[in-house]
């Protein structure tokens, strides 16, 4: 079985990353989104184990001491981390794994797994980000101001990524994301492993 690929996807808050990735896994087979651990409180409608693994500060610190995370970061006062075991098991099963992480986590993952691919999703404009954050109704005005400042800082790291996708038109951005994953699956190393039997039959009489 061909091993899957690891994709890092980053974007500022409100850029539409979560909606795009939700559609991506619905329309493309053998791709999963890694569920991160976090110490932040659960938001309305979120489900433990589906959106995040919501853990205490003590549990997170224990996992960190055990080197259980592929990456971790502190964002707006809360910790987020990606389980190393969960990711590696999914890759070994032939699944493409998507990490929804910020630039800090992306740096850590690239240092440990340089073969990973990274995608940055840009908003059409900062005004669009602000409108989406306000419409979401989950943050106070002060938090929105802080998130917009954080968005500029996040965007400043765009050049560290392999691919840039602008979410000006949702369907177009989704098409571009799918194209990146499909093209990666057609690379020679993955195809050689996946099509070993076919290649052997085609070359048998040469």
Domain ranges of the chain: 6-34+95-203
pLDDT tens digits, one per residue of 102-145: 898 999 999 999 999 999 999 988 887 778 777 776 778 788 88
Evaluated on CA atoms 80, 45, 144, 17, the torsion sign reads: positive
Instruction: Please compute the mean of the pLDDT values over residues 20-49 and round it to a whole number.
Output: 95
Q: What is the band of 73 on the pLDDT scale with cuts at 50, 70, 90? A: confident
* CB hemisphere CA count around 137 (13 angstroms): 3
Given a cut of 70, is residue 47 above it in pLDDT?
A: yes
- Give the tokens for residue 161: 């990524």
Position 33 pLDDT exceeds 70: yes
For the chain, report the end-to-end CA distance as a whole number of angstroms: 26
Residue 206: is its pLDDT beyond 70?
no
Residue 120's SS3 state is strand
Residues 6+ apart with CB under 8 A from 154: 10, 11, 12, 102, 103
Confidence (pLDDT) at 129: 77
What does the block give as tokens for 198? 């076919």
- What count of other Cβ atoms lies within 10 Å of the Cβ of residue 175? 13
Quote the pLDDT of residue 142. 80
For residue 153, with 0-12 CB atoms within 10 Å meaning exposed, 13-18 middle and 19 or more buried, which class applies?
Answer: exposed
Helix axes 126-136, 141-155, angle to 10 degrees: 140
Percent of the chain whose predicted confidence (pLDDT) is above 90: 75
Read off the pLDDT band of 74 (50, 70, 90): confident
* pTM to 2 decimal places: 0.86
Task: Please tell me the distance from the alpha carbon of residue 72 to that of residue 56, in angstroms, as a whole number.
Answer: 15
Euclidean distance between CA atoms 141 and 93, whole angstroms = 44
Distance CA 65, CA 21 (A): 31
Helix (H, G, I), strand (E, B) or coil at 23: helix
Average pLDDT value over all residues in the chain: 92
Cα(39)–Cα(16) distance, integer angstroms: 23
CATH number listed for the domain at residues 6-34+95-203: 3.40.50.300
Average pLDDT (75-83) is 89
């Amino acid at each position: 079985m061909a091993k899957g690929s690891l994709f890092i996807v980053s974007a500022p808050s409100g850029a539409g990353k979560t909606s795009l990735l939700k559609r991506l896994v619905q329309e493309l087979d053998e791709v999963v989104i890694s569920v991160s651990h976090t110490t932040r409180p659960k938001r309305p409608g979120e489900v433990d184990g589906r959106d995040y693994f919501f853990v205490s500060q003590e549990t997170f610190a224990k996992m960190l001491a055990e080197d259980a995370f592929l990456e971790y970061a502190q964002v707006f006062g809360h910790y987020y981390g990606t389980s190393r075991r969960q990711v590696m098991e999914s890759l070994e099963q032939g699944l493409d794994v998507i990490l929804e992480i910020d630039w800090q986590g992306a740096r850590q993952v690239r240092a440990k797994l340089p073969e990973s691919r990274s995608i940055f999703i840009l908003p059409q404009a900062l005004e669009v980000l602000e409108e989406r954050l306000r419409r979401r109704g989950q943050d106070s005005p002060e938090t929105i101001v802080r998130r917009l400042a954080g968005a500029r800082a996040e965007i400043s790291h765009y050049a560290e990524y392999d691919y840039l996708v602008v979410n000006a038109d949702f369907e177009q951005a989704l098409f571009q994301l799918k194209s990146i994953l499909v093209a990666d699956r057609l690379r020679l190393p993955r195809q050689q492993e996946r099509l070993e039997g076919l290649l052997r039959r085609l070359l048998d009489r040469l």
